[in-house]
């Protein structure tokens, strides 16, 4: 860890992500002389390469704007680099390195042949016109296209990058290269996207929760859940929770939280999905529209009593104080829909209190798993039916759950899902690296 810290000064998110994996696998790798001799730990914590580039675009007032873009190609031992693009003002190299590192083990857990990568920009799509977003995406792809390809690196969406951005990015790739090929996932259905891809991360997280509950002899039906976020992960997790007859008590965005005391109903959810996906509005507008919804400005959901907490917004959103609130309210399950939403000290507290935690790299792997299936469909020039994809997603989440439980079983029979996810995700990548010799 000291050498990781020395090599990555001022990159706290990256160091945090590495520390979390290192803590969990350290005891397990101790006896693996083959890993030690091959310096696997040192190699796996160094990205294959990072490309950073200038993105210049013109806004609607004809002012020239300059942004920075990146692609972190972390590890391609088990397949082409794969992972989303994040457009948000908070994006920097540390954030993208931590996300690419996490992605590598998450993708490994899906069982599909995908390496790990991540990219993005400090561009903020909020408040920009469609034409501005298009010009930015075209400029971004004009540099990125030379670093990606269906057998090389296959980006997708993430925070700030949805179907609109993917459309502009894919169009520009096609225009520059003259090739229609499966170089991005998260595409719309009209041009090679996959059924179930929009829903996959949120649905997958709930499928994982359902498996965890089954293993504890519990049922999702009738349980209450607090969700943070109101993007694609949060809103499809909410939809699947309603399908399972659970109650959703909160949703949020970066301005505040809405609380729905009687539980969100289908009409409200559909209205909010339209608000967020089509109109790009703020979550507070839901409280103006519906009597049963209250808005708490500047608040997070973590003080509301519930059985399950699903952080589905962004990294480090549950800090120690939030974790104390969750424990004080006897929250039993925390399901990480976002990547690394729990700070290290919050995690320690939740673990100490015996809260069952579904770690991000397992719980939110459904999105990238269906992206992997989108790549397969593009490669065979076919599109599969929704039922088939939903059933594959259900099986993949059950398989990930099984891997985490098996690798995460302690000597006393207790289950640590985080440890299990880290060990199982790591092992496959490390074994592939060993097979290639010294490179």
List residues binding ligand GLU (CB under 6 A): 82-84, 156, 158, 185, 339, 367-368, 371
CB 231 to ligand GLU: min, Å: 11
CB 285 to ligand GLU: min, Å: 26
| Encoded tokens for 199 | 């829903």
Nearer to ligand GLU, 117 or 408 (CB): 117
Residue 183's SS3 state is coil
| Encoded tokens for 421 | 């996810």
Query: For 158, which DSSP code?
Result: B
d(CA 367, CA 232): 10
Contacts of 143 (CB under 8 A, 6+ apart): 53, 54, 55, 69
d(CA 67, CA 51): 14
Residue showing tokens 């016109």: 129
- Can 118 be counted among the known catalytic residues? yes
d(CA 76, CA 152): 9
| Encoded tokens for 320 | 């120690």
Nearer to ligand GLU, 28 or 384 (CB): 384
Q: Which strands form 224-228's sheet, in the order they lie side by side?
A: 293-297, 256-260, 247-253, 224-228, 308-311, 333-335, 356-358
CB of 112 closer than 8 Å to CB of 79 = yes
CB of 120 closer than 8 Å to CB of 89 = no
CB 158 to ligand GLU: min, Å: 4
Nearer to ligand GLU, 201 or 250 (CB): 201
Nearer to ligand GLU, 156 or 397 (CB): 156
Return the residue nearest ligand GLU (CB atom): 84
DSSP codes, 275-314: IIIIS---TTHHHHH-TTEEEEET--GGGS--SEEEE-S-
CB 397 to ligand GLU: min, Å: 13
**Pseudo-torsion of CA 174, 177, 182, 187, nearest 10°?**
-20
| Encoded tokens for 434 | 């060993």
Residue 230's SS3 state is coil
CB of 99 closer than 8 Å to CB of 83 = yes
CB 367 to ligand GLU: min, Å: 4
Nearer to ligand GLU, 83 or 301 (CB): 83
Residue 179's SS3 state is coil
CB 79 to ligand GLU: min, Å: 11
Nearer to ligand GLU, 195 or 268 (CB): 195
CB 283 to ligand GLU: min, Å: 21
Nearer to ligand GLU, 157 or 408 (CB): 157
| CB count in 10 Å sphere of residue 292 | 13
CB of 404 closer than 8 Å to CB of 362 = yes
Catalytic hit among 82, 97, 118, 223: 118
Nearer to ligand GLU, 158 or 307 (CB): 158
CB 243 to ligand GLU: min, Å: 22
Catalytic annotation, residues: 118
């Amino acid at each position: 860890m000291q050498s990781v810290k020395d090599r990555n000064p001022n990159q706290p998110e990256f160091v945090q992500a590495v520390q979390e994996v290192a803590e969990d696998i350290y005891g397990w790798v101790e006896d693996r002389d083959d890993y030690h001799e091959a310096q696997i730990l040192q190699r796996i914590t160094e990205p294959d390469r990072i490309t950073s580039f200038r993105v210049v675009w013109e806004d609607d007032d004809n002012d020239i704007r300059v942004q920075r873009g990146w692609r972190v190609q972390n590890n391609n031992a088990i397949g082409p680099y794969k992972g989303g693009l994040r457009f948000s003002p908070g994006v920097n190299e540390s954030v993208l390195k931590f996300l690419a590192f996490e992605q590598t083990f998450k993708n490994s857990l899906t069982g599909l042949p995908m390496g790990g990568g991540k990219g993005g920009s400090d561009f903020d799509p909020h408040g920009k016109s469609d034409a501005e977003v298009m010009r930015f995406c075209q400029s971004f792809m004009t540099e990125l296209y030379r670093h990606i390809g269906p057998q090389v690196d296959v980006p997708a969406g993430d925070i700030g990058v949805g179907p609109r951005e993917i459309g502009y990015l894919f169009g520009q790739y096609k225009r520059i290269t003259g090739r229609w090929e499966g170089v991005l996932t998260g595409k719309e259905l009209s041009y090679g996207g996959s059924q179930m891809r929009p829903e996959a991360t949120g649905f997958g997280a709930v499928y994982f929760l359902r498996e965890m509950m089954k293993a504890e002899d519990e049922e999702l039906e009738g349980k209450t859940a607090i969700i943070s976020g109101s993007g694609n992960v949060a809103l499809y997790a909410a939809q699947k929770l309603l399908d399972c007859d659970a109650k959703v008590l909160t949703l949020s965005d970066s301005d505040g939280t809405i609380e729905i005391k009687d539980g969100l109903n289908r009409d409200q959810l559909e209205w909010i999905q339209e608000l967020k996906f089509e109109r790009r509005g703020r979550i507070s507008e839901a409280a103006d529209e519906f009597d049963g919804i209250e808005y708490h400005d500047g608040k997070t959901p973590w003080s509301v009593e519930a059985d399950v907490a699903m952080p589905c917004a962004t990294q480090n959103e549950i800090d120690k104080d939030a974790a104390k609130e969750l424990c004080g309210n006897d929250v039993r399950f925390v399901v990480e829909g976002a990547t690394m939403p729990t700070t290290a000290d919050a995690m320690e507290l939740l673990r100490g209190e015996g809260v069952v935690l579904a770690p991000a790299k397992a719980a939110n792997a459904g999105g990238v798993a269906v992206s992997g299936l989108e790549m397969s469909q593009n490669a065979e020039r076919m599109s599969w039916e929704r039922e088939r994809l939903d059933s594959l997603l259900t099986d993949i989440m059950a398989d990930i759950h099984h891997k985490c439980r098996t690798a995460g079983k302690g000597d006393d029979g207790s289950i640590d899902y985080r440890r299990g996810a880290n060990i199982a995700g790591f092992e496959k990548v490390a074994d592939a690296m060993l097979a290639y010799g010294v490179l």
